[in-house]
Amino acid sequence: MTYWEFKGRELVNCTCEYGCNCQFNALPDKGHCHAVAAVHVDQGKHGDTQLDDLNFVGVFKWPGPIHEGHGEVLPIVDERASPEQRDALLKIMTGQDTDPFATVFAVFATTMEKVNEPVFAPINFEVNVDGRRGRLSVPGYVEMTGEPIRNPISGAEFRGQIRLPNGFEYEVAEIGSASSRTTGGPMDIEIDSKYAQFANLHLSTHGVVRAGA
């Protein structure tokens, strides 16, 4: 396998209520899972190919719990990426050059029944993990906005975290609220004010690179 590693930031929105049962090996609270995930690579490489400052997005649908499969995905890669960078990002996104089940990408790849043709498009993405705010726009495909959860009485911002010491995606995620909708393309998704996670990522061929490792 070609070794890869990157540090970056993500915003993920799914149809679960705040907390997301799936983070704790439970079933999705709607019975199905629809999700949008956006990642910004701050620093990374796949072999000799640098991946710094590139974005990628996945639009996902599963008719039941993720582990039961039959999923559909639309991979979207930053149009600024060179042919070599596009190939590298798609390999990472689809679980290639990765130990079995070592990353969220590798796990999701085993559950896919339909993989739509990758899209190479402008990805406008910004995310503040600690501030629990983010915005994604891929014109003609998908829009997503993330913000802090707010107290329904006072309107004050609520802060909560999920810590997964042995997870395959992140070690700590800030939890917020997000809304997503597709605006074109082969998939139809609409999520209104549901679970969002904002996380700093450090992933490699072998999985999560743990703090202090």
The pLDDT of residue 213: 64
pTM: 0.96
Report the DSSP pairing between strands 71-78 and 112-115: parallel
Query: Could you give the CA distance from residue 47 to residue 185 in angstroms, rounded to a whole number?
Result: 32
Q: Which residues pair with 42 in a beta bridge?
A: none
DSSP summary character for residue 67: G
Q: What confidence tens digit (pLDDT) does each residue in 49-79 have? A: 999 999 999 999 999 999 999 999 999 999 9
Q: What confidence tens digit (pLDDT) does each residue in 106-142 have? A: 999 999 999 999 999 999 999 999 999 999 999 999 9
- The answer to whether the CB of 98 falls within 8 A of the CB of 1 is yes
